[in-house]
Amino acid sequence: QLQASGGGLVQAGGSLRLSCAASGRTFSSYVMGWLRQAPGREREFVASISRSGGSTYYANSVKGRFTISRDNAKNTVYLQMNGLKPEDTAVYYCAADSGSNPIPQMYDYWGQGTLVTVSS
């Protein structure tokens, strides 16, 4: 089970940190990802992180502004979002994948989503 939190309303240029806490004792066995879905748009990849945290991947639209990290001791993955833009407004989902693709196309588990709203 994944529980995302940390969303909210922020002005353009501001920052937020999303957290996703996982239950269970196999968190380190999963590639973790953040995806987002804006109103009227398809869900899109934002970032992913390898099981150890040693490798990270980002969508071009967030590269240089967002940072994904994980703490396997705390069963938690984070998304630090800086320099937020109105186009970052979306529901953000964390997800877990047991496969080998560092940028998973499908995920085994999903969190419930947390809303990020960026005002101009």
Q: List pLDDT tens digits, range 50-93.
A: 999 999 999 999 999 999 999 999 999 999 999 999 999 999 99
Mean pLDDT of the chain: 96
Residue 112 vs residues 33, 44, 53: alpha-carbon distances, Å:
13, 15, 23
Quickly state the pLDDT bin for 24 (edges 50, 70, 90). Answer: confident
Instruction: Determine which helix (DSSP H) or strand (DSSP E) holds 46, and give its type and residue range.
Output: strand 44-49
**Euclidean distance between CA atoms 86 and 40, whole angstroms:** 15
Q: Kindly provide the b/e burial profile for residues 39-65, where b requires at least 16 CB atoms within 10 angstroms of the residue's own CB.
A: eeeeeebbbbbebeeeeebbbeebeee
> Running DSSP on this structure, what letter comes out for residue 74?
T
Identify which of 86, 106, 91 has the alpha carbon closest to the alpha carbon of residue 36: 91
**Euclidean distance between CA atoms 75 and 58, whole angstroms:** 21
